[in-house]
Structure 1
Amino acid sequence: MDDGAAHGGQHQESKQCAVAQVGRPVGCVHRDPEEATSGERVGIDGVARMPAPRPRVLLIAELCNPDWVSVPLEGWSLYRALAEVADVHLVTHVRNRENILKQGVQEGSQFTALDSTPVEKPLDKVGEVLRGKTGVGWTTATALSALPYYYFEEVLWRRFGPRIEAGEFDLVHRYTPISPTTPSTLAARCKKAGVPFVMGPLNGGLPWPKGFGGARRREKEWLSYIRDVYKLMPFYKSTRENASAIITGSRATRGQVSGQWQGKTVYVPENAIDTRRFGTEKSEGPVELPLRVAFVGRFVPYKGMAMLMEAAAPLIREGKVVLEYIGDGQEMANLRAQAAREGIESGVTFAGWVKHQELQGRLAKNHIFGFPSVREFGGAVVCEAMALGLVPIVMDYGGPGEIVSPATGFAIQMGTPEEIVLRVREVLTKLAADPSVIRPMGERARERIFKYFTWRAKAEQVLEVYRWVKGERGQPDWGMPLAD
């Protein structure tokens, strides 16, 4: 593999302990979680503390649903994790109400569901026309969702404004929407009330890499050409000026924050796994040829499925690799045709969509997770694969490149489609030549996820941000990206 094929000099040396950077609070000692004495809480920074009073948090997660996937599931997962370390009242959309109630969360005392559908429905119809019905055009969908979200926050302020002003909450945290393009009307109101306003982790706005204009057009990403117009939206500047903390979920999103607001940013990666749902199984046993390589996701142009197949094709013909695609989408017919052209149909499996509760069992039968997506904001599926002990092959661009470290997988340097194919093929060829490296690397990948990328770990990170805005500690800094 060439020098640029894996993580290298782009990665800043990570700071090992946030507390060490800002001065360790009195009464704190470094301790492993299992060594904590009675009453102590060990945070992600490895510091044991006697617990401070639990912060009273109004958590805004308009997208929050335990039965959905993607951002709604993220909203739910962080809420449940934060509820273990803080006194949290969740405010969400009425569309999520029934599924949240099924989880035993008490309406009124623990969560409130607000209805903003009168404004949403007309815009949903506009969105269908602009995006088509193929599930693409993320930038367009995000732009349209900002308008009804203004109304959602107005409804929220009518309901909770007096309680915020009365000091019933120590802080207000807007978690979802996660897009940095969606402003908030609440930041200025909270500042006026003397209540800290936290937003994030924000993630999005990853530029399209050069050489992928065709994929960009097939994704119907028309608005991505003028995406920076969002900075002219009402409340964009006010949101950032009045926020007490801006949590950014990626290096790209951190880079979008103007210099005057960089001092209030904290880096916390967006994605994590729910250990109650994922990670209970493990890819294990001897690794023998053919190597089993899996892809999971929507079959849309930017995910890189065709590049993965092209990279693996010679090895499939030699009997050294088999490839499994889990998912479906608009590119299915093209992928099947590509497998036929390459003469590798016997070495490529199309599993279709697999229920999430069954995914880890299926995925754990593989050795490698091939995911050369060229424009991936987060990459939750990479966390899930690594939690099972699979060795990831991803692009060093966007979320996946910040999840995978040099010791836990392969982050491929961005390039033209042809260059990416050659770099992925080189990695696969080396792994096929020496499969003995796969299990140790997969074990390190699994350890990294369980250290930094569980929802409990995420809640501990966010809790430190809460302590910062409340004046209880210095500004957290765990490095960007997180060190092993």
Structure 2
Amino acid sequence: MVERRLKALVIAEAANPEWVSVPLVGWSLAHALRDVADVHIVTQVRNRDAILRAGLVEGRDFTAIDSERLAAPMWRLAERLSMGKGVGWTMKTAVSTLGYGYFERLVWRAFGPAIRAGQYDVVHRVTPLTPTANSRIAPLCARAGVPFVLGPLNGGVPWPRGFDSERRREREWLSYVRGAYKALPGRGAMLRHASAILCGSLHTLGEIPAGFRAKTVWLPENAIEPARFSLTAPQPGTLPLRGCFIGRLVPYKGADMAIEAALPLLRDGRMVLDIVGDGPQAGALRDLVAREGVAQAVRFHGWLPHAEVQGVAARAQLLVFPSVREFGGGVVLEAMALGVVPVVADYAGPGELVDDATGFRIPMGRRAALVAGLRERLEAIAADPAVLGVMAAAGQARVMRDFTWAAKAAQVERIWRAVIAGAPLPQELPLPR
């Protein structure tokens, strides 16, 4: 028997096919869900033109809510308070979140009558990803008898011990009191009335009160579009190794630790390293490379279009990515999709996406210990590079099975059907370790 296609209202305040980070996640999941259900996307007006260029029809496929009267000044305030471009993300998130309630009020004004009339089988808020943005629509949907699904929620991974200097350089002053969001009005009502709560990390899942754990599902928010990953990295099992680092050049991402750990291999020709990305740390990294005499083995590519990033990464055998505060770790999945073996800090998102069959996790510790552990691992790989071929194949297979946007949409649809049927929630992926 063929199941009826569900009708879903997907709220994705940030959903933009032409941007990166959270807006791209919101767009990618919302758009993928259109293949498994009759989905109407509700987003913020700043995304309207990009979504039109992607081929969707306004009014039929999506609605753009104009909340700029509050959203625009709140974002300008967030930029000022964070005191720097590319830093102070906790402040930016907190201030921007203050205006989210206004956006939802406009959403309910536009769609509340249809929800109350039973025109949707489920309402799902995909973005904001941050668990600090409470939803006033959750209790309203419950009152209307329509299941409300929340998430994936992610964010707020604590700064690890020993990285206070990086925390200060990132101007993350507000992160010291971030836990206060749990006392914000409306959080209890949102969690109580949500039919399912998708958590993008074990940390976020752990912040959900015990009484609501039965309706939580661990489901990382990132995925890949296979059509964008047409290359497979060579894994010849010989030296020199080629490593790559991909990301913003900011202290917590750890590009400096990747270079420091690799110095012995870079000096003697056993490894070369590609650095893809840019940011406030770029100058200091170039100085480090020059000072240590390894400029011949390290290439800085700066920012590259996504298609060109794939070309650089697919020449590497390793993704060297010791980020110490990574919520999602989308770059890890992208590397695995290319057959590049990740070497990551065993902390937060990357540590949950990588297992012993698909990559290497360096035990988390203070900076010196993390660098030492990373160096030890790189030395071991250089001594036996043949181990990388099997791991690369295993990582590529896992991503193509569990972490494509099509797979993610199918996972979410099964959760929708469970909440509609009042059945136990499927745990779509095995919990890490």
Q: TM-score, normalised by structure 2?
A: 0.98
Tell me the secondary structure at the aligned position of residue 374 of structure 1. Answer: coil
CA contact (8 A) 1:393 1:409 kept: yes
- One-letter amino acid of the counterpart of residue 364, structure 1: A
Equivalent residues in 2 for 1:292-307 (5 A)?
Answer: 292-307=242-257
CA contact (8 A) 2:320 2:344 kept: yes
In structure 2, what is the equivalent of residue 290 of structure 1? 240
Whether 1:411 aligns to 2:361 is yes
Q: Deviations over 1:96-150 (max 9, x none)?
A: 1111111111111110000000012222222122112321111111111111111
In structure 2, what is the equivalent of residue 190 of structure 1? 141
Query: Which consecutive residues of structure 2, in runs of 5 or more, have no partner in the other structure?
Result: none
In structure 2, what is the equivalent of residue 155 of structure 1? 106
In structure 1, what is the equivalent of residue 336 of structure 2? 386
* Distance in 2 separating the partners of 1:478 and 1:160: 30
Report the Cα offset of residue 317 of structure 1.
0.8
In structure 2, what is the equivalent of residue 398 of structure 1? 348
Whether 1:475 aligns to 2:431 is no
Equivalent residues in 2 for 1:333-348 (5 A)?
Answer: 333-348=283-298
* Distance in 1 separating the partners of 2:176 and 2:231: 42
CA contact (8 A) 2:221 2:328 kept: yes
Q: Deviations over 1:145-192 (max 9, x none)?
A: 111111000111110000000000001000000001110010010000
Q: Deviations over 1:253-291 (max 9, x none)?
A: 1000011111111111111101122x2111025243210
| Deviating 4+ runs (over 4 angstroms) | none
In structure 2, what is the equivalent of residue 271 of structure 1? 222
* CA shift in 2, pair 1:370/1:172, >3 Å: same
Report the Cα offset of residue 337 of structure 1.
1.2
Equivalent residues in 2 for 1:228-247 (5 A)?
Answer: 228-247=179-198
The answer to which structure, 1 or 2, has the higher relative contact order (CA under 8 A, 6+ apart) is 1
**Out of 169, 173, 176, which is 2:127 matched to?**
176
In structure 1, what is the equivalent of residue 96 of structure 2? 145
In structure 1, what is the equivalent of residue 272 of structure 2? 322
Report the Cα offset of residue 342 of structure 1.
1.4
**Out of 236, 251, 259, which is 2:210 matched to?**
259
Report the Cα offset of residue 361 of structure 1.
1.4
Aligned-residue sequence identity (percent) comes to 51
CA contact (8 A) 2:261 2:372 kept: yes
In structure 1, what is the equivalent of residue 167 of structure 2? 216
**Out of 381, 400, 416, which is 1:431 matched to?**
381
- One-letter amino acid of the counterpart of residue 194, structure 2: A
Whether 1:460 aligns to 2:410 is yes
CA contact (8 A) 2:78 2:96 kept: no
Equivalent residues in 2 for 1:19-168 (5 A)?
Answer: 50-168=1-119
Tell me the secondary structure at the aligned position of residue 299 of structure 2. Answer: strand
Tell me the secondary structure at the aligned position of residue 198 of structure 1. Answer: strand
- One-letter amino acid of the counterpart of residue 116, structure 1: S
Q: Deviations over 1:329-350 (max 9, x none)?
A: 0001111111122111111110
In structure 2, what is the equivalent of residue 444 of structure 1? 394
* Distance in 2 separating the partners of 1:479 and 1:454: 13
**Out of 367, 370, 394, which is 2:317 matched to?**
367
In structure 2, what is the equivalent of residue 16 of structure 1? none
In structure 1, what is the equivalent of residue 200 of structure 2? 249
Q: TM-score, normalised by structure 1?
A: 0.88
* Distance in 2 separating the partners of 1:137 and 1:237: 27
* Distance in 1 separating the partners of 2:113 and 2:412: 25
Query: Which consecutive residues of structure 1, in runs of 5 or more, have no partner in the other structure?
Result: 1-49
- One-letter amino acid of the counterpart of residue 390, structure 2: P
* Distance in 2 separating the partners of 1:442 and 1:122: 46
CA contact (8 A) 2:130 2:155 kept: yes
Q: Deviations over 1:352-392 (max 9, x none)?
A: 01101221112101110000000000010110011000010
Tell me the secondary structure at the aligned position of residue 99 of structure 2. Answer: helix
Across the aligned residues of Structure 1 and Structure 2, the Cα RMSD in angstroms comes to 1.2
- One-letter amino acid of the counterpart of residue 150, structure 2: M
Whether 1:311 aligns to 2:280 is no
* CA shift in 2, pair 1:170/1:437, >3 Å: same
Tell me the secondary structure at the aligned position of residue 415 of structure 1. Answer: coil
Structure 1 residues 241-250 or 469-478, which shifts more? Answer: 469-478
CA contact (8 A) 1:251 1:480 kept: no
* Distance in 1 separating the partners of 2:20 and 2:204: 22
Report the Cα offset of residue 239 of structure 1.
0.7
